[in-house]
Every structure is written in structure tokens, then in C-alpha cells.
């Protein structure tokens, strides 16, 4: 079942989501089925459970090779469902890159994110996931995990003049190399 997407202003997007206590429970597994189906229908790179009105600590992401290269990242990221994630920042260095979000349709903004992270969590099968990530991979994990703490990307922006409608930004603010297909 494809789930509805919560848009900015919904309280579920402002709450701290709850830990998933029993990953293999039927109620959790049933949600994961819908969560994956919804993610594929949206055709994006990432989604967090609160964005589909479920206040659980769970995110999903995937970066195809083409999309990775369009974002200056060298490798694809397989479809990953990450439950109860924890992020460790491996550097103080950040970079500033355009982001968008299904909960803030038609808009985008330039957001600083840590360049390199380690993230850990649990898979739907209950296995430990422990990876290091940099560049766009690190960015999308940080964006999705922020949703679990009630943070939307504009709240991370130091310069709100770099926030606006996708069409206008692509035409006016982006450099040609940044205006790559999403």
C-alpha cells in the first residue's frame, strides 16, 4: 500500500521518533513492506518513516550509479533500510550542496552537511549495519536521520537566500554542473 506523505507543518515531522523495539514483529514488517513500496513509487533517493506518518526511527535510501555520478559521488548505494540509526561524525569539515525533500515539495535549499560519517543501525532482518560514508552518501543519510529528530533541511540552512522554488533556483542560482537531474 502506498502511504501518504506528510508535508512541512505536520506535527509528526517535528517530533522525535521512537526507537523500534522489536524489528521482526509482524506490525513492523508490515510497515516496512508499505514503506519500501512508497519509496519506490516516489522515485527519490531517501525517505524517513515520519514522512509517511509513522513516528519510528527508520529510514530508507538508495542511490543508483547514474544518480550518484550526477551528484559527484563515485559509487552506487544499495537499497538500505536502516532502523534505529546512529551517526558518528568523522570530520569537522562540511560542504554545502542543494537538497530537496518530499515533505517540502517544489522547493530546494543549500545545506551544510558533514563530509564523512560512520553510521550504524539494524536491518529489517535484525542484522547490524555498520558503514562509513562520504560525499552525497553521507549527506543523504544525514538528511534522512534528521527527520527522526524533527529536523527539516531549512532548519540547517545558514543562508535563507539560498532557499526557494526548484524552477527558479535551477534557472537563477545554480551553476550548470549543479543543475543536474534529480
Do residues 114 and 89 lie in contact, with contact meaning Cβ atoms separated by under 8 Å?
yes
| Interface pick for Ni ion out of 32, 101, 122, 133 (rule CB under 5 A) | 101
C-alpha closest to that of 59 among 32, 41, 22, 30: 32
Catalytic choice (18, 22, 99, 144) = 144
Q: Which is nearer to Ni ion, 101 or 145 (CB)?
A: 101
- Reading the block at residue 170, the C-alpha cell is 535551477
- Quick check: 145 binds Ni ion (CB under 5 A)? no
How many positions of this chain bind Ni ion (CB under 5 A)?
A: 1
- Quick check: 6 binds Ni ion (CB under 5 A)? no
Do residues 5 and 42 lie in contact, with contact meaning Cβ atoms separated by under 8 Å?
yes
Q: Is 144 a catalytic residue?
A: yes
C-alpha closest to that of 55 among 12, 87, 20: 12
Q: How many CB atoms sit inside 10 A of residue 103's CB?
A: 21
Q: Which stretch, 8-16, 60-68, 75-83, 93-101, contacts Ni ion (CB under 5 A)?
A: 93-101
Q: Which is nearer to Ni ion, 101 or 138 (CB)?
A: 101
First-to-last alpha carbon distance for the chain, in angstroms, is 25
- Closest distance to Ni ion from the beta carbon of 51 (Å): 6
Q: Which is nearer to Ni ion, 13 or 68 (CB)?
A: 13
Q: Do you know the residue count of the chain?
A: 182
- Closest distance to Ni ion from the beta carbon of 45 (Å): 10
Q: What is the radius of gyration, based on Cα positions, of the chain?
A: 16
Residue nearest to Ni ion (CB): 101
Would you give the binding string for Ni ion spanning residues 24-63, x where CB under 5 A is met?
----------------------------------------
- Closest distance to Ni ion from the beta carbon of 13 (Å): 9
Q: 25 phi and psi, to 5 degrees?
A: -60, 140
Q: Which residue has the cell 560514508?
A: 133
Q: Which is nearer to Ni ion, 2 or 74 (CB)?
A: 2
Q: How far apart are CA 141 and CA 133, in angstroms?
A: 9
User: Which of the residues are catalytic?
Assistant: 144
**By the criterion CB under 5 A, which residues form the site for Ni ion?**
101
Amino acid at each position: 500500500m502506498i502511504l501518504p506523505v506528510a508535508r512541512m507543518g505536520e506535527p509528526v515531522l517535528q517530533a522525535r521518533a521512537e526507537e523500534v523495539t522489536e524489528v521482526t514483529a509482524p506490525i513492523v514488517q508490515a510497515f516496512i513492506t508499505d514503506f519500501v513500496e512508497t519509496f519506490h513509487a516516489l522515485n527519490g533517493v531517501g525517505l524517513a518513516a515520519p514522512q509517511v506518518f509513522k513516528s519510528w526511527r527508520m529510514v530508507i535510501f538508495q542511490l543508483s550509479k547514474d544518480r550518484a555520478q550526477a551528484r559527484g559521488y563515485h559509487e552506487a548505494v544499495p537499497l538500505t533500510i536502516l532502523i534505529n540509526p546512529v551517526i558518528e561524525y568523522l570530520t569537522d569539515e562540511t560542504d554545502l550542496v542543494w537538497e530537496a525533500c518530499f515533505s517540502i515539495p517544489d522547493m530546494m535549499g543549500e545545506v551544510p552537511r558533514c563530509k564523512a560519517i560512520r553510521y550504524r543501525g539494524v536491518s529489517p532482518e535484525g542484522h547490524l549495519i555498520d558503514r562509513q560514508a562520504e560525499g552525497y552518501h553521507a549527506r543523504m543519510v544525514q538528511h534522512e536521520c534528521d527527520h527522526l529528530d524533527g529536523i527539516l533541511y531549512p532548519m540547517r540552512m545558514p543562508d535563507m537566500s539560498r532557499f526557494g522554488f526548484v524552477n527558479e533556483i535551477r534557472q537563477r542560482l545554480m551553476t550548470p554542473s549543479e543543475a543536474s537531474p534529480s
